[in-house]
Amino acid sequence: MMHRLSAPGGPELRDIHLPPAPPWWPPAPGWWLLAALVLGLLGAGAWLLLRARKRRHRRARILAEVDALAIRHAADAQALAAGLHQLLRRVARTHDPAAARLRGEAWREALARVPVDAPTLERLLTLESAMYRPQPYDTRAMMEAVRCWLRAALAAQGRRVRRA
């Protein structure tokens, strides 16, 4: 039996009742914001991982092309020089769209935009003459110079993409 206390001349008092427990659904707005933030971070992380994976795959494919050219043109140094030169121009177009048409000093400047040492740059510049004149040249050193320039060009391209 419940007692009702009343003060003389005052209101009738009852026992304290606790409010019902809050439901677990729907969550409070703060939880929705936290869930949106976590999903956004997961999405951004997945996008960055896929982009990096795609960049690594592209780099590996381009560097493997140097070896494929060496195998395909093992007996013909002029054809190897032409293939390597064409590969350089294709990658240089990512830095300068006009690189496919550049000759002489302008081509040297396009190659020099990629940070490589002077002997590597000089070796790459001899590719153009090696394509047209049958002259002996060190194919291994030339391929290593091309690989060095390609690695630097692709790394510079990745840094440029991240800054943009």
pLDDT tens profile 125-160: 988 888 888 778 888 999 999 999 999 999 887 665
pLDDT tens profile 9-36: 777 878 888 999 888 899 999 999 999 9
pLDDT tens profile 59-108: 999 999 999 999 999 899 999 999 999 999 999 998 888 888 888 899 99
Contacts of 91 (CB under 8 A, 6+ apart): 62, 150, 153, 154
SS (H, E, C) 9-34: CCCEECCCCCCCCCCCCCCCHHHHHH
- In angstroms, what is the C-alpha Rg of the chain? 34
- Taking the domains of the chain in order of start, what are their residue ranges? 56-164
Cis peptide bond prior to 19, omega within 30° of 0: no
Q: What is the mean pLDDT of the chain?
A: 88
